[in-house]
A = this chain, B = another copy of it.
Amino acid sequence: MDLKVLTQTVQGQAVRNLREAITSGIFQPGDRLVEAEMCARLGISRPSLREALRSLEAERLIVMVPNKGPHIPILSLEEAKAIYEVRALLEGEAAALFAGKATVAALEAMKRALAGFDAATKQEDLQAQLETTRQFYEQILSGCGNRIIEEMLSTLTARITFLRSKSMSQPGRAHKSSREMRAIFKAVSVGDAAAAREAAVEHVRMACRAATEKFLADQVRKKDWLSRSKTKSSNG
C-alpha cells in the first residue's frame, strides 16, 4: 500500500490542469493563452501561473514567444511524423524488453484493457478508447524495466494526443488498432521479443498513417473553407 502523503502545490495542480486541458483539445493549436485570463480561470496568481507555463513550455506543450506570450503550438505534418517515428522506435524497444519479463498480472491487465477497448469501440466512446489504450501501454512501459523510455514517451504522446483522438475516430481505424494491439499482446505473452517489437512498430506506423491522412484531409477542408469565406467576404 502506498502511504505517501501527497503535497499538492498550486503550481503542480496548475500544470496538471493545463496539461489535461491542452491534450484533451480544449485549447486549439494556435490559440493564445492570455495570462490574466488563465490566472482567473485557475484561481492562482501570475507568478505561479508563469511557473506552470514554463514547465509546459519545456514539455513542448506550449511555446512562449518573447513579448507575445504563450500559445498552443501548431504541429506541422513533418514534426508529427518525426514524433511517430521516435514513438515507433521507443515503443518497439519497450515491447521487446517487456516480452522477456512480462508478469502474469501485467498480461491480465493488458487483456482487460483490450476487452475494454473493444467495448468502447462498440459504444463509439472515443474517450474510453484512448483510456484503455493508455492502460494497455502502461503495462508495457512500466514493465519494460526502463523508466527513461516511459518518461520520453509520455511527453511525446502528450504532444500528439489531439492527433490521436482525431485519427482514432476515422472509420475502421479502431478495429485495426485492436487487431494490432492483440498482435503485440500475443507476442509478449509468448515471450517473442522480435515479434513484439515488430508488432509495436507496426501499430505506430499504422497510427501514423491514419493521422497523416486525417491531417491532409483536414488541411484540404481548411483551405476549402478559407477560399469560400474569402469569396463570401469579397462579395459582401
Interface residues of A (CB under 8 A from B): 7, 9, 11-12, 47, 50-52, 54-55, 57-60, 66-67, 79, 82-83, 85-86, 89-90, 93, 146-149, 151-152, 156
Q: Is the CB of A146 within 8 A of B47?
A: no
Taken together, the copies of this chain in the complex come to 2
10 other A-B residue contacts (CB within 8 Å) besides A11-B54, A89-B90: A7-B66, A47-B47, A47-B50, A51-B54, A55-B58, A82-B149, A83-B148, A85-B149, A86-B146, A86-B152
Q: Is the CB of B85 within 8 A of A148?
A: yes
Q: Is the CB of B79 within 8 A of A86?
A: no
Select which of B12, B54, B147, B148 is within 8 A of A58 by beta carbon. B54
Residue of B nearest to A67 (CB): B7
Q: Is the CB of A148 within 8 A of B79?
A: yes
Contacts of A148 in B (CB 8 A): 79, 82-83, 85-86, 156
Chain B nearest Cβ from A101, distance in angstroms: 14
Contacts of A54 in B (CB 8 A): 11, 51-52, 54-55, 58
Chain B nearest Cβ from A6, distance in angstroms: 9
Residue of B nearest to A50 (CB): B51
The CA of A7 and the CA of B60, in the complex, are separated in Å by 20
Q: Is the CB of B147 within 8 A of A79?
A: yes
Contacts of A152 in B (CB 8 A): 86, 152
Contacts of A11 in B (CB 8 A): 54
Contacts of A47 in B (CB 8 A): 47, 50
Chain B nearest Cβ from A37, distance in angstroms: 19
